[in-house]
Every structure is written in structure tokens, then in C-alpha cells.
Amino acid sequence: MLESTFIYIPGIGATTETSLWGQGCRTWTDLRGNLDRYSIGTAEPGEVASYLDQSIRNLERGEHSFFRRCLGGREAWRAFPSFRNRCAYLDIETDGGHSGSSVTTIGVYDGSEFKAYVKGQNLHEFPLDIQRFGMIVTFFGTGFDLPMLEKCFPGIVFDQIHLDLCPTLRRVGHRGGLKRIEKALGISRGDQTDGLDGLDAIRLWRRYKTLRDDKALETLIAYNRDDVVNLETLACYTYDRLRRLTLGKNARAFGEARLSGLPPEMP
């Protein structure tokens, strides 16, 4: 979908983008090689060519920051398949406070491996580790996770493409918290963490700190792990739905692009 995206080019809005698809223009290279053939509305051909060249070059190099600036938060979903191999599914837990020191655990899942960063153990490793990713997927990370991490690690810079599933899922009709949406879509959790919520995460941390209860920490990490692992399934689902909605009547011409990782029974 990223290479079929024109909406961020100056002068090209949603209507012109849809028109280009209808004209048979499928990709950046299609348009770049045939600027005189396709109608691009009020856009200036020279500027369009420049953006297309930059887009092709930056995707070849994996320069995620270019697409972060171009897509913003609303259209970040379009980059998901292209940057999925460098994607971090991210979620934090806190002790209930609002300061940087309130962050107790950070969970990061890269699609195959999960790593927990725990306060008092290895939390300090997070700022360096996160730099190897080109995309971050969160649920309400814009309003909570990333601001808290910026307090926890002053000077940290998140230059990755950021897909925040909370507002993005609203665009396909799903509202409410993460656990509610998971249940609505039939996404399950492990027996150890099923039914737990954010308040339980706070209690588990306090139990671990006050009673040195390692079992409480183990459960907290398992809860955090379920959060981030399930974000991948939700990202695949959201991308699939938004792709079909955005392409509309052009979807058939583009063909099926259902992502691996999306259970076949999900709508």
C-alpha cells in the first residue's frame, strides 16, 4: 500500500489519489514514468516527480523517518507491510503515577521475540535497543506510552513511523480499550493473564516490590507480553480493513493482500 500512496504529495489529496488508481496508476514508478499520461489535478508535475524520486529512494534505503514525516499518524498504517520486518510492538506498565520514575516495565515484541525491560534490572537498555526499529505499533501510545517514556528517558527521540491502533481502529468501527476490542475480535490471552487489566498490573508491581514476590513479577511480564503480541494481530487486521476501505471500488484491481498473521476467521 505504501508504494501506491500519493496522498502526501503536495497538491494530491484523497480525491486525486483515488482518481489515479482509477486511471490505472498503481505505484510510484507507474506515475513517475508517465507523468504526462495521468491526470494529477492541481499538483505541480516537477514537485510530484521530486516526491516520487524521494519516496522510491527512501524506501530502498529503509529511511523510515522520511515516511514518518510524510504520512503522519493518520496514514501510518499504509507503511505497515513495508516496515513490518523492523517493527516494534510496544507497551508499558506503570506503578500508577505520572512521572518518569513510574514506568515499571516495557514490553517490546519484534514479531518473533519478546523482551521485557524491568525497572531496577534492565530498563536502562531500552533507549538504545529501540533505535534499531523503523516502526512502532502501540495502543494509545500517542497519549500515554510515548509521553511516559519521554519522561522516563529525557532526551529520547522517537523518529520511527508510529502506528497508534487506538485512533486507527476507530476508523474501522472499533472503540473502547484494548481488552474490549480483543474480545470483540476473538483474540485470546493466556490462562495466566486472562481477565487482568491495567489496575491489576499496578497491584502486581506493588506486590513484587513490597513482598519480593517473584511470581507477581512473572505474571506482570506475562500480561505485558500478551499486550504486545496481540498488537501484531490487531495491526494486521486494521491494515487489511483500512486497505479495503481506502481502495474502495479499486480494491479488486489491486488484488488480495491479506497479511500473514491475521487469523482466517477474523472479519
DSSP H helices, 103-186, are 126-129, 146-152, 165-170, 178-184
- Give yes or no for a contact between 201 and 224, defined as CB atoms under 8 angstroms apart: yes
pLDDT band of 191, cuts 50, 70, 90: confident
Chain segment 48-81, per-residue pLDDT in tens: 999 999 999 999 999 999 999 999 999 999 999 9
Q: Write the burial class of residue 237 (CB in 10 Å: 0-12 exposed, 13-18 middle, 19+ buried).
A: buried
CA distance 177 to 230: 13
Grid cell in block for residue 18: 483515488
Largest CA distance in the chain: 72
**82-236 is classed CATH 3.40.50.11890:** no
91: phi > 0 → left, psi -120 to 50 → alpha, else beta; which?
Answer: beta
Instruction: Say yes or no to pLDDT of 27 above 80.
Output: yes
Give pLDDT, residue 155: 96
CA distance 12 to 38: 12
Chain segment 196-209, per-residue pLDDT in tens: 899 999 999 999 99
pTM for the model: 0.94
Domain spans of the chain, in order of start: 2-61, 82-236
